[in-house]
Structure 1
Amino acid sequence: MKQTSRLFVYWAPRILGILFALFISIFALDVFELNAGFWKTTLGLSIHLIPTALILVILALAWKREWIGTIGFIALGILYIYWSWGRFPLSVYFAISGPLFLLGILFMVNWIYRDDRNLA
């Protein structure tokens, strides 16, 4: 495999994981529109940032162990569809679960490539 392909396979899931965590974090900002007190706003922000924390924990664990990213991100995508099925239009499922499945697949490609490289 060429050096550029090797770098892409390694860095793409990691960079996209960080960008997706930032994207999900944007949805937590709606807490500030409530004009609630400091503690209610802090609690609401903390609750809204739980999905971001899950994504970042899986990303941190998957940084060196790609199989964790493969299983973790695909599981998050399935769980999101399971918990929220029927509440939103189909485009919302593509916007949230789609990137999670993509991250899982990219980590799987990196994991498979890493295993092939170690066997050679």
Structure 2
Amino acid sequence: MKVSIKIIHWLPRVICILAILFISMFALDAFNHEKTIWQQIGDFLMHLIPSFVLIVFLIIAWKREFIGGIIFILIGIGFSPFIFMHNYNMNQSVSMSLMIILIITIPFMIVGILFILSHRMKKKNLPSSTKNHEKSP
């Protein structure tokens, strides 16, 4: 693989892992002194469900880049209005709500675009014998 293809191959994976770790940090608010340790662990695992779902989508994207790219773009586009409205209802600030959208959902849209770009670059750079072999039944 060329260096540029390797970079485009690994960049969406690394960005996605970092974005999932960032989303996972929000689960830490499950820990407080008012609940038992088992209740806190249960709440923590409940807060990690979005991260677990994103990990499943990352595994899909790792194996099938084009499908994974579409999934991550749809995640970014689909959740943006919900996250915006939730944050706007909490702080009544359009600019702060848009900033939160940029921080939370835009990385997943970028990941989706990069997965699709990686898929296209690899498909374009396949040797001609491999391309003919893939088309045959």
- TM-score of the alignment, normalized to the shorter chain, above 0.5: yes
CA distance in structure 1 between the aligned counterparts of 2:127 and 2:34, rounded to whole angstroms: 58
Contact 2:5 2:122 in 1 (8 A): no
* Match of residue 18 from structure 1: 17
How many residue pairs get aligned? The number is: 119
C-alpha displacement of 1:34: 5.2
Structure 1 unaligned regions, length at least 5: none
TM-score w.r.t. structure 2 length? 0.78
- Written as runs of structure 1 = structure 2, the 5 A alignment for 1:1-120 is 3-33=2-32, 35-88=34-87, 89-118=97-126, 120=128
What's the RMSD between the two structures over aligned residues?
Answer: 1.8
C-alpha displacement of 1:86: 2.1
TM-score w.r.t. structure 1 length? 0.88
Runs of 4+ in 1 over 4 A off after TM superposition: none
Larger radius of gyration: 2
SS in 1 for 2:109: helix
CA distance in structure 2 between the aligned counterparts of 1:33 and 1:79, rounded to whole angstroms: 32
Q: Percent identity?
A: 34
SS in 2 for 1:75: helix
